[in-house]
Amino acid sequence: MLFKHILIVEDEFHLGEALTVSLRKLADYVEKVSTIESARYYLETHWDSLPDLVVLDRNLPDGDGIQFCRELRNHGNTGMILMLTAQSGIEQRIEGLDAGADDYLPKPFSWEELKARLKALARRLPEKKASIDPLWSMDFKKLQIKGPAGWVRLTPLEFKLAAALIHANGEIVGRDQLLREVWGFQLLPQTRTVDLFMSKLRKRFEPDPERPLYFKTIRGAGYSFQKSA
């Protein structure tokens, strides 16, 4: 297989279905969405197994693929991006490449040309060492997270809090931000809710909850998650 994981962002139903069938010959796993919002949600909920290739249409119902491509790069997404578009002019191609796309394929195109371009992109992928039983995998359907002691089942709010911190990848997340993102507060109350839920996470994942190694409170700033002790 050329790729492990491909995400197709294409709103034309028949083209999207054809791409899905065709690209399954080249990848272990292929997922298709039809809007920028659904692509954004998919990537946010699969942050620990991001696609190594995004096939991205330029003209989508809820926005411009160029802007989304730029957003992906600004957020540190390093996977390959192949843009598809009916706009085949030189200026449009340059705009797509400047936004961070690795290649730009005008519609209509042949399967042979698409396959050749994907082979060229695959040769540019960095070699990845296989990881054995990685910690901190997340199962969004079962609300489970794999920590040092194995899989742990969480309540919906516990899972949302843990996922928000893990997704921050070591950055400090403020209390107010968590109250908005996890609990949905618009007017922020004076509450120890976040501290109480952090305590619950530590009891589930920390060897010594009184001396946390993973889910940490940063005094005066917020909270952070460290993958390894």
pLDDT of 109: 92
pTM for the full model? 0.58
pLDDT of 17: 95
Side-chain-facing half-sphere of 214: CA atoms under 13 Å: 24
Please list the rounded mean pLDDT of every run of 10 residues in the chain (229 residues): 93 95 93 94 78 94 93 83 85 86 91 93 68 66 86 91 88 90 78 92 95 94 87
Residue 148 tokens read as 């040092």
The correct answer on CATH 1.10.10.10 for the domain covering 138-225 is: yes
User: C-alpha angle 75/146/49, rounded to 5°?
Assistant: 35
pLDDT of 229: 60
* The CATH classification of domain 3-122, taken from the options 3.40.50.300, 3.40.50.2300, 3.40.50.10470, 3.20.20.60: 3.40.50.2300
Distance CA 31, CA 24 (A): 9
Q: 94 in helix, strand or coil?
A: helix
- In the chain, where the domains are located: 3-122, 138-225
pLDDT of 128: 47
